[in-house]
């Protein structure tokens, strides 16, 4: 019996040791080093500036992390030091109360002198995860070479903006500049290079030295150099330096939709006060969350394509690059409805942040607390910030899209496209169209509340017709015929119903079923509720068509 107990004890110890070895693979054990006061790295502002300047000019063999400290953060600094010392990082703290020191709260300087700002959550585990991902990306090469199918598949699964270039070999003109740009911009965006001309053609790279920026979500591809520049001589190509490439990327990489993560919480690009900031909150593991995410991404793709067509530029997409792409993101060209009037939505003025409830579960509670907005199956979509120049949303904390207006009873191509256009029109109503109200100034010199005014209609008796009217999103409008108010009853089968349920986005366009001469012919006017403003009266003519017998 005693022998059995002893064997069981030994077996238990072996199991615990084995489990401990597994945990060693996924956890960083705090260092047992005791830090004396003289060994703690504390810098002043001048020393921080000097370190950053020297790191850009020479190779630095010591990896460093610079942390701007706030009050009562000693434990945070000590935790970082104890966990990162084993990875070869020197952790330095500094205090700064002046705007003159333009540096992120946490800055990483790697061993080749590259300075990388960190905008993630301020805790050791998130920072360590970011560092591990960073070192994985830049440990071997600042760019990835695409040699075959496996590399191509890896490229296709990168959803963020990415750079891809064609150089016959590493001795090609300007390849050094491309490599330097990749090194300076690491870890984002990722850089790819193709050396085989036939493979390069699959990425629409036809000239040696051609570089393109691919925004897969928006389905757009922008080229640098331009076709005229790509025909330059090798001597002229050498004049293109890494900073030219970096500047071009920064000017064109604009990402419309960001997915919030704990490693990019404070990214300045996500918090641009000069853009319309929209948030979409949902759980992509839920049916509606995943469906709305796909509808939203497809909406952005459609808007991007419409803009290209509106500007008469041929759109180049990378659809055929991804052979396994989901059907929601395919067949893009067939989605444009040629008979629809297309208004330009300036995507450069818009940023959409997707907040996934799996990663940020408290977002649902905060939304209901801050905005008193009830979700539809735990999904929200709304505008929470407008730039100072905005008109439609001045004085409003937020404007929210009514997801009840979506057709969620089925999912087929026609239904999905109708839902996409609802989302697109709502985005247009709170961003681009409000700019039109500036040009529709009234005689008093004030902007008009109308975004879209009704036009005369001629209809056959018994036919259906639509009276269009839309005001700024925070307003509502209604109808009057021959100075009499029109009662709209969407529930009890009235002949009059609003084209957009609940008149979301200020759209009170009226659908009339079965036109009647005695009831519908006359003068119609659209009214802005709560104001004295109204549209110009328009005439509805109901024709009585007689049948001719043969």
Domain containing residue 488: CATH number = 2.60.40.10
Q: Does 7 reside within a domain?
A: no
pLDDT recorded at residue 338: 39
Q: Does 321 reside within a domain?
A: yes
Helix H segments across 205-272? 234-237, 242-252
Per-residue pLDDT at 505 exceeds 80: no
pLDDT recorded at residue 40: 65
pLDDT recorded at residue 282: 94
> Same domain for 316 and 206?
no
Q: Which of 399, 415, 437 is the last residue of a domain?
A: 437
**pLDDT level of residue 218 (50, 70, 90 thresholds):** low
Q: Does 548 reside within a domain?
A: no
pLDDT recorded at residue 101: 62
Q: What tens digit of pLDDT does each residue of 49-67 get?
A: 777 776 655 555 678 888 8
pLDDT recorded at residue 16: 46
CATH code of the domain covering residue 302:
3.40.30.10
> Same domain for 88 and 120?
yes
Number of structural domains (the chain) is 4
Domain region containing 187: 143-253
**The two three-digit tokens of residue 98, written as one number:** 């002046």
pLDDT recorded at residue 354: 93
Q: Contact, 358 vs 293, CB < 8 A?
A: no
Of 90, 86, 28, 35, nearest to 63 (Cα)? 90
Per-residue pLDDT at 35 exceeds 50: no
- For residue 50, CA distances in Å to 47, 53, 54, 88, 104 come to 5, 5, 6, 21, 15
SS3 (DSSP) at 257: strand
> Same domain for 317 and 427?
yes
Higher pLDDT: 293 or 112? It is 293
Neighbour tally for 540: CB within 10 Å: 19
> Same domain for 193 and 295?
no
Q: Does 16 reside within a domain?
A: no
Q: Does 521 reside within a domain?
A: yes
User: How many angstroms separate the CA atoms of 275 and 371, rounded?
Assistant: 20
> Same domain for 530 and 394?
no
Per-residue pLDDT at 520 exceeds 60: yes
pLDDT recorded at residue 296: 93
Q: What tens digit of pLDDT does each residue of 439-452 get?
A: 343 333 445 688 88
Per-residue pLDDT at 166 exceeds 90: yes
Q: What is the mean pLDDT of residues 107-123?
A: 82
Q: What is the mean pLDDT of residues 504-513?
A: 84
Per-residue pLDDT at 499 exceeds 90: no
Report pTM: 0.64
Q: What is the mean pLDDT of residues 350-371?
A: 89
% the chain with pLDDT above 90? 12
Q: Contact, 472 vs 464, CB < 8 A?
A: no
User: How many angstroms separate the CA atoms of 79 and 94, rounded?
Assistant: 16
pLDDT recorded at residue 315: 41
> Same domain for 164 and 302?
no
Q: What does DSSP assign to residue 198?
A: H
User: How many angstroms separate the CA atoms of 381 and 349, rounded?
Assistant: 17
Q: Does 398 reside within a domain?
A: yes
pLDDT recorded at residue 138: 66
Average pLDDT taken over every residue of the chain: 76
Per-residue pLDDT at 128 exceeds 60: yes
Of 179, 191, 193, 183, nearest to 146 (Cα)? 193
Per-residue pLDDT at 8 exceeds 90: no
What is the maximum alpha-carbon separation in the chain?
113
pLDDT recorded at residue 524: 93
Q: What is the mean pLDDT of residues 8-30?
A: 51
> Same domain for 283 and 432?
yes
Q: What tens digit of pLDDT does each residue of 379-416 get?
A: 999 988 888 766 555 545 678 888 888 888 887 888 89
Q: Contact, 193 vs 230, CB < 8 A?
A: no
Q: Does 26 reside within a domain?
A: no
Per-residue pLDDT at 356 exceeds 90: yes
User: How many angstroms separate the CA atoms of 447 and 437, rounded?
Assistant: 6
Higher pLDDT: 13 or 207? It is 207
**pLDDT level of residue 286 (50, 70, 90 thresholds):** very high
> Same domain for 49 and 195?
no
Q: Does 180 reside within a domain?
A: yes
**pLDDT level of residue 28 (50, 70, 90 thresholds):** low
Q: What tens digit of pLDDT does each residue of 297-326 get?
A: 889 888 877 776 665 444 444 444 444 344
SS3 (DSSP) at 279: strand
> Same domain for 506 and 370?
no
SS3 (DSSP) at 13: helix
Measured N-to-C along each axis, helices 124-138 and 74-84 cross at an angle, to the nearest 10 degrees, of 40
Q: What is the mean pLDDT of residues 531-535?
A: 87
> Same domain for 198 and 285?
no
Per-residue pLDDT at 68 exceeds 50: yes
> Same domain for 236 and 281?
no
Q: Which of 253, 270, 286 is the last residue of a domain?
A: 253
Q: Which of 29-43, 337-351, 480-494 has the lowest mean pLDDT?
A: 29-43
Per-residue pLDDT at 3 exceeds 60: yes
Q: What is the mean pLDDT of residues 479-488?
A: 88
**pLDDT level of residue 434 (50, 70, 90 thresholds):** very low
**pLDDT level of residue 139 (50, 70, 90 thresholds):** low
Q: Which of 386, 404, 437 is the last residue of a domain?
A: 437
> Same domain for 93 and 165?
no
In the chain the first and final C-alpha atoms are separated, in Å, by: 112
**pLDDT level of residue 346 (50, 70, 90 thresholds):** confident
């Amino acid at each position: 019996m005693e022998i059995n107990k002893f064997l069981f004890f030994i077996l238990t110890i072996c199991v615990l040791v084995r489990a401990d070895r597994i945990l060693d693979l996924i956890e960083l054990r705090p260092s047992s080093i005791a830090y004396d006061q003289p060994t703690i790295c504390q810098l002043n502002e001048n020393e921080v500036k000097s370190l950053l300047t020297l790191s850009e000019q020479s190779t630095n063999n010591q990896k460093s992390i610079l942390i701007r400290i706030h009050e009562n953060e000693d434990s945070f600094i000590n935790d970082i030091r104890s966990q990162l010392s084993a990875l070869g990082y020197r952790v330095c703290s500094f205090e700064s109360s002046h705007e003159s020191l333009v540096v992120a709260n946490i800055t990483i300087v790697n061993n080749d002198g590259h300075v990388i700002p960190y905008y993630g959550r301020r805790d050791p585990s998130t920072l360590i995860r970011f560092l591990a991902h960073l070192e994985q990306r830049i440990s071997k090469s600042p760019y990835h070479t695409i040699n075959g199918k496996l590399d191509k598949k890896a490229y296709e699964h990168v959803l963020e903006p990415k750079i891809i270039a064609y150089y016959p070999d590493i001795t090609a003109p300007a390849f050094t500049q491309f490599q330097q740009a990749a090194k300076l911009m690491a870890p984002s965006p990722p850089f790819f290079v193709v050396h085989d001309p036939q493979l390069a053609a699959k990425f629409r790279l036809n000239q040696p030295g051609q570089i393109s920026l691919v925004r897969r979500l928006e389905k757009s591809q922008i080229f640098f150099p331009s076709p005229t520049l790509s025909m330059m001589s090798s001597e002229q190509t050498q004049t293109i330096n890494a900073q030219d490439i970096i500047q071009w990327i920064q000017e064109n990489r604009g990402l419309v939709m960001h997915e919030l993560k704990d490693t990019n919480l404070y990214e300045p690009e996500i918090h641009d006060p000069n853009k319309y900031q929209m948030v979409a909150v949902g759980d992509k593991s839920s049916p509606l969350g995943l469906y709305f995410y796909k509808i939203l991404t497809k909406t952005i793709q459609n808007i991007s394509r419409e803009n290209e067509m509106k500007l008469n530029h041929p759109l180049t997409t990378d659809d055929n690059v991804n052979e396994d792409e989901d059907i929601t993101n395919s067949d893009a060209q067939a989605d444009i409805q040629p008979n629809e009037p297309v208004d330009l939505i300036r995507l450069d003025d818009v940023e959409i942040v997707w907040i996934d409830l799996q990663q940020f579960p408290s977002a649902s509670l905060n939304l209901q607390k801050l905005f008193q907005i009830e979700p539809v199956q735990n999904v929200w979509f709304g505008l929470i910030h407008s730039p100072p120049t905005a008109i439609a949303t001045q004085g409003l904390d937020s404007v929210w899209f009514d997801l009840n207006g979506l057709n969620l009873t089925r999912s087929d191509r026609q239904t999905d496209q109708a839902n996409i256009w609802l989302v697109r029109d709502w985005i247009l109503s709170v961003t681009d169209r409000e700019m039109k109200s500036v040009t529709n100034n009234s005689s008093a010199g004030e902007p008009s509340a109308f975004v879209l005014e009704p036009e005369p209609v001629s209809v056959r008796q018994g036919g259906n017709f639509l009276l269009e009217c839309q005001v700024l999103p925070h307003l509502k409008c209604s109808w009057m015929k021959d100075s009499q108010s029109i009662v709209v009853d969407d529930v009890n089968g009235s002949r009059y119903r609003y084209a957009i349920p609940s008149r979301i986005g200020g759209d009170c366009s009226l659908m009339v079923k079965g036109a009647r001469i005695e009831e519908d012919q006359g003068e119609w006017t659209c009214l802005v509720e709560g104001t004295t403003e109204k549209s110009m009266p328009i005439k509805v003519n109901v024709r009585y068509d007689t049948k001719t017998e043969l």
